[in-house]
Amino acid sequence: MGEHPSPGPAVAACAEAERIEELEPEAEEQLPAAPEDFDPGNTGYISTGKFRSLLESHSSKLDPHKREVLLALADSHADGQICYHDFISLMSNKRSNSFRQAILQGNRRLSSKALLEEKGLSLSQRLIRHVAYETLPREIDRKWYYDSYTCCPPPWFMITVTLLEVAFFLYNGVSLGQFVLQVTHPRYLKNSLVYHPQLRAQAWRYLTYIFMHAGIEHLGLNVVLQLLVGVPLEMVHGATRIGLVYVAGVVAGSLAVSVADMTAPVVGSSGGVYALVSAHLANIVMNWSGMKCQFKLLRMAVALICMSMEFGRAVWLRFHPSAYPPCPHPSFMAHLGGVAVGITLGVVVLRNYEQRLQDQSLWWIFVTMYTVFVLFAVFWNIFAYTLLDLKLPPPP
According to the model, what pLDDT value does residue 87 have? 59
Round to whole Å and give the CA distance between 325 and 329: 9
pLDDT at 357 over 80: no
Confidence of residue 247 (pLDDT cuts 50, 70, 90): very high
Q: Is residue 96 annotated as a catalytic residue, yes or no?
A: no
Catalytic residue of the set 270, 278, 322, 331? 270
Average pLDDT over residues 187-193: 89
Length of the chain counted residue by residue: 396
Fill in the DSSP letter of residue 102.
Answer: H
Query: Do residues 256 and 314 make contact, with C-beta atoms less than 8 angstroms apart?
Result: no
237 Cβ contact partners less than 8 Å away, ≥ 6 residues apart: 135, 349, 350, 353
How far out from the chain centre does Cα 296 lie?
Answer: 19
Name the residue ranges covered by the structural domains of the chain: 34-85, 156-388
Higher pLDDT, 18 or 126: 126
Round to whole Å and give the CA distance between 146 and 138: 12
Confidence of residue 37 (pLDDT cuts 50, 70, 90): low
Q: List the one residue out of 351, 146, 343 whose CA is nearest residue 235.
A: 146
The pLDDT mean for the chain works out to 77
Which residues is 83 bridged to in the sheet?
45
Q: Among 56-70, 123-137, 348-362, which stretch is predicted with the lowest mean pLDDT?
A: 56-70
Percent of the chain scored above 70 by pLDDT?
71
Average pLDDT over residues 240-250: 94
Round to whole Å and give the CA distance between 352 and 293: 19
pLDDT at 85 over 70: no
According to the model, what pLDDT value does residue 134 have? 84
Q: Is residue 270 annotated as a catalytic residue, yes or no?
A: yes
pLDDT at 376 over 80: yes
Q: Among 64-68, 217-221, 247-251, 379-383, which stretch is predicted with the lowest mean pLDDT?
A: 64-68
pLDDT at 26 over 80: no
CATH architecture label of 156-388: Up-down Bundle (1.20)
Fill in the DSSP letter of residue 266.
Answer: B
Q: Among 66-80, 112-126, 292-306, which stretch is predicted with the lowest mean pLDDT?
A: 66-80
According to the model, what pLDDT value does residue 62 have? 61
DSSP letter string over 2-39? ---PPPPHHHHHHHHHHS---S-HHHHTTS---HHHH-
Confidence of residue 71 (pLDDT cuts 50, 70, 90): low
What separation in angstroms does the CA of 129 have from each of 2, 122, 177, 236, 242? 12, 10, 44, 11, 20
Fill in the DSSP letter of residue 63.
Answer: -
pLDDT in tens, 252-294: 999 999 999 888 899 999 999 999 999 998 888 887 777 777 7
Average pLDDT over residues 22-35: 41
Higher pLDDT, 26 or 183: 183
pLDDT at 12 over 60: no
What separation in angstroms does the CA of 138 have from each of 96, 160, 290, 293, 309? 19, 30, 6, 11, 32
Catalytic residue of the set 213, 237, 329, 335? 335
According to the model, what pLDDT value does residue 63 have? 58
According to the model, what pLDDT value does residue 284 have? 85
pTM of the model: 0.71
Average pLDDT over residues 233-239: 91
